[in-house]
Chain A
Amino acid sequence: MSASVSTITSGKGGVGKTTTTANLAVALAGMGKKVVCIDGDIGLRNLDVVLGLENRIVYDLVDVIEGRCRLRQAMIRDKRMPELYLIPAAQTRDKSAVSPSDMVRLCDELREEMDWILIDSPAGIERGFRNAIAAADSVLVVTNPEVSAVRDADRIIGLIEAEEKGPAKIILNRVNQNLVKRGDMLDVPDVLELLAVELIGIVPEDEAVTVSTNRGQPVVLDSHSKAGIAFSNIARRMNGEDVPFVNMDDKSGLFDRLSRMLRTGGD
């Protein structure tokens, strides 16, 4: 077995990287895959909270790298999924405690026994970001349909290409159909036209996400949530399934234009 390492990043903060990582990890584990997610945001850890595993942390990523514990000891097994693990970030250190080559070594050790390694990148383009993508086989860029988030996504996609980790794939998070319809939010084709990379998922804005994040219960576990369905579709696409994009707007329009774009725009 050799795992695929996928890094979730964005450039801009607050677009939903950690929520995305947690949900993709749970969705992949729910499909019977062995998954480990690594919180790359050293000093500002969050992924443990979103997964509801905060109170189980004994050792963290920096402990493993500095040899204070074995890798297995820092892997927290999820309470719901037997094949889902979290390696939490250290809260009391900063990004310089880890180097890109440490991440490559760590992932190489994990590859043998896992199917998926998901790395949650910190915001920004500095050391933490470079650590997070150092070991990546593929990179998912999360963005929101907002000018500033898309601008940062564009910059990050360029940096990913420069590090020869490209082409990145896009997850467009928090799309609000009502705003798009009123013309007050960037449309999916607008975003794809600028970024010119493959789209792997569109996640609608959904209050259930906030509620589930606060409870440490990823929204994919809620089969009624639109965002949850969108995340599990992304996980299926990561596994090579051909899943059509969800039609969020009942009166089509967006969907038609989008599928037209995907047909003509793929390279």
Chain B
Amino acid sequence: MDITQMGEMQIKGIKDGLLATLGEGDWSELSFGLIEHIKARAGFFQGAKLTIDVGEHAVHASELSTLRDRLSDHGVMLWAVLSNSPITENATKLLGMATKISKKESSVLDRKEKSTPVGEDAILVERTLRSGVVINFRGHVTIVGDINPGAEVIAAGNIVVWGKIRGVVHAGVEGNEHAIICAMDMNPSQLRITDVVAVSPEKRGKVQPEIARIKDGKVVVEVWNSSHVRGK
């Protein structure tokens, strides 16, 4: 494995290309340092797929997109940004880049994900997900807003939407058959719980809050009624 080091920045080869771990310091200096580093080894980096790990840095979408443009000027494709900062993670998703890389390759991710048991963690997303946005989370996902057609939400736990579902929702992705999906207005292009797939019926009835779960190996969608909810 090729490892180069400069200051606190580390660049190593991983399965999905190259991983650059930026150390501590000012964002503009770090991104400048990265570009300089790449310029100096243009041959090595040409055409590379790059992931950067920014640690705790809160990087805004405009800063990330600037870096992405500058990297692409040097023939490097920035496709994923790993971060512990929700701001950075959000910006990465908005720009349509990955926030995770395959598990075995990243010690950062392992550490983060071991700290919480699968399915017990939860996030709250307070905006409408437009086409092209993917939320992938190993826990429960609550969305205050809509999931538009072309957007996807994938969760190990439940998916709760205070709004409309029009895109793809996949709950219980790691095999939790008790996972539920509920929404104020449920009309997804596709709905999956574990590996059971369902699509919305052509004709729609009245729009009302509904809940989807697996019953006898099939996805069943019922009108929301508090008595349906499993007691713990």
Contact = CB atoms under 8 A, between A and B. Distances in A.
Pair from one complex: yes
B94 A161 contact: yes
Contacts of A158: 94, 130-133
Q: Quick one: which of B61, B91, B130, B150 has the most chain A CB within 10 A?
A: B130
Interface in A141-178: 151-152, 154-155, 157-159, 161-164
Contact of A162 (B73, B91, B146, B148): B91
Contacts of A99: 69, 73
Contacts, number: 51
A100 interface: yes
Interface residues of A, number: 19
A130 B130 contact: no
B65 interface: yes
Interface string B82-110: 00000000010011100000000000000
A155 B61 contact: no
A155 B73 contact: no
A163 B94 CA distance: 8
Interface centre among A127, A162, A164, A194 (most CB of B within 10 A): A162
B72 A127 contact: yes
B96 A159 contact: yes
Q: Which of B69, B131, B146 has the most CB of A within 10 A?
A: B131
Given A99-B73, A151-B149, A158-B94, A164 B61 contact: yes
B59 to A, nearest CB: 13
A11 B130 CA distance: 13
Nearest to B73: A99
A196 interface: yes
B69 A163 contact: no
Please classify the interface of chain B as helix (H, G, I), strand (E, B), loop, or mixed, using the class held by over half of its residues: loop
Given A99-B73, A159-B96, A151 B131 contact: yes
Contacts of A127: 72
B62 A164 contact: yes
A157 to B, nearest CB: 6
B72 A152 contact: no
A263 to B, nearest CB: 21
Interface string B107-148: 000000000000000000000101111000000000000101
A162 B65 contact: yes
A212 B186 CA distance: 45
A154 B72 contact: no
A157 B130 contact: yes
A163 B149 contact: no
Interface string A101-127: 100000000000000000000000101
Contacts of A194: 148-149, 166
A127 B70 CA distance: 12
B69 A162 contact: no
A223 to B, nearest CB: 38
Contact of B65 (A130, A157, A196): A130
Given A100-B69, A162-B61, 13 more contacts: A99-B69, A99-B73, A101-B69, A151-B149, A151-B150, A155-B131, A155-B132, A158-B130, A161-B130, A162-B65, A162-B95, A163-B62, A194-B148
